[in-house]
Amino acid sequence: MPSHNHYLIGALLLLAATAANAETLEDAWSSAINNNHQIKAAKADTSASEQQLHSAEGQRLPDLNVSSSYTQLSETPAAKTQISGQTTTFNMSQPGSVKAQAMASVPIFTSGRISHTINAAEASLQAVQSNETTSVLNIKMQVAEAYIAVLRMESALQVALSHVDALELHMKDVNNLFDQGMVARNDVLTVNVELANARQLVVQASNQLDIAKARYNQLLDRNLADEVKLAHQFPETPQGTLNELSGNALKQRPELVTLAQQIESLEQQAQSVKAALLPQVAVNGGYQYQENRYQAFEGMWTANVGMDWKIFDGSSGHRSDALTRQAISLKEQRDDLSSMIGLQVRQAWLDIQETQKRIAVAQQAIAQADENMKVTADRYQQGLSTNTDVLKAEDLRTTSHGNFNNANYDATLAALHLRRALGIL
């Protein structure tokens, strides 16, 4: 029967054969960030928010308007007057004329309306940037889970194959003993059924491995059938007490930054709406040209200072209140998220503690299961144990190896979940 060492040697040889060109988790993350459509969408949102900020800042710059028109009247405009008792008319302008002007307007005092609008746009940009960071973290976590799923299924396939190898060796022993008339035919039939079931498990594990690889390739925007070779390299587990980790998470999570900046943006928008009801002062000036041969000066420069004060507006107050209430809603969501983040950190931290204990127990179980299998197989060859004992020992060996693999990958996944909960994946 194959020993635990034999199984480990096979796994190590497999790892060595693929290590030279295996893809690391960092490589996978880099590829996903460069190719994933959700990340591209998030980057586009950031670019759009940057343009909105530029638009808000542009309100401080002068507006320059150039206009021109041609007017044709049915009659020549004229004026009537009395001179020495006689009615006299004289032309005032041409029946057809060109009018053109270039006017500039610069706001010099807006009661804070423009400043609040710019502050709102800056806060919105920071919120979108943080949201982009969140999208990156989410994609990286999905990739990490798919990455570990592939490795887990590769290990499961190796365990299933070792199970088949073990049963094939045992079947040879059973056939030899049957040919010698030392065991009943029932032993032969039983081991054949067990071997058929084991081969079915290999088929299932192979299928699940193919599905895991396809999911991994999909996240990296690759052909679903591309070959996948992965390295067993992972980031370090964050160190610190549970309280320290929870405190760090509240400082580092981009989702909290997103909500904080969205709240700031809404509050600034509310202030901007209120400021629009206060005096707005602007300087206007430019050049005007009116074609009129009866006029002494057809072109003139002009300048003025104007003030606009909206004394009553039935909608602005409600708009401001609506924005303020939206900000209050986001504050409640932020408080709820803070509590949820604390739960995520605690759960991941506890999962790490659990998996470490499972690994220690599984290591002991593997050694004992391998030794039990060896002893039971020897006793069967000597006629001191039954076929059922051997099959049961092999099931225990296979289960022990499966438990050990799952404990290791669960521990790795828990560490990655903790990093995600801290916002440092």
The tens digit of pLDDT for each residue in 162-180 reads 999 999 999 999 999 999 8
pLDDT given at position 3: 47
In sign, the C-alpha dihedral spanning 272, 276, 280, 283 is positive
The one-letter amino acid code at 211 reads I
0.85 exceeded by pTM? no
Q: Is 109 helix (H, G, I), strand (E, B) or coil?
A: strand
- Residue 10: pLDDT band (50, 70, 90) is low
Structural domain spans, the chain: 4-35+111-277+315-422
Q: Is 241 helix (H, G, I), strand (E, B) or coil?
A: coil
Domain 4-35+111-277+315-422: CATH superfamily is Outer membrane efflux proteins (OEP) (1.20.1600.10)
pLDDT given at position 19: 53
The tens digit of pLDDT for each residue in 121-150 reads 999 999 999 999 999 999 999 999 999 999
Instruction: Output the six-digit token pair for 58.
Output: 């542009």
The tens digit of pLDDT for each residue in 362-382 reads 999 999 999 999 999 999 988
Cβ–Cβ < 8 Å for 401, 363: no
Count Cβ atoms within 10 A of the Cβ of residue 420 and give its class: 0-12 exposed, 13-18 middle, 19 or more buried.
buried
The tens digit of pLDDT for each residue in 48-103 reads 999 999 999 999 999 999 999 999 989 888 888 887 778 888 888 888 999 999 99
Distances (CA, A) of 378 to 173, 181, 373: 10, 18, 9
pLDDT given at position 9: 52
What rounded mean pLDDT belongs to the chain? 91
Query: Quick one: what percent of the chain has pLDDT higher than 90?
Result: 80
Phi, psi of 64 (to 5 degrees): -120, 120
The tens digit of pLDDT for each residue in 180-218 reads 888 899 999 999 999 999 999 999 999 999 999 999 999
Q: Is 83 helix (H, G, I), strand (E, B) or coil?
A: strand
- The total of other beta-carbon atoms located within 10 Å of residue 304's CB is 9
Cβ–Cβ < 8 Å for 99, 71: yes
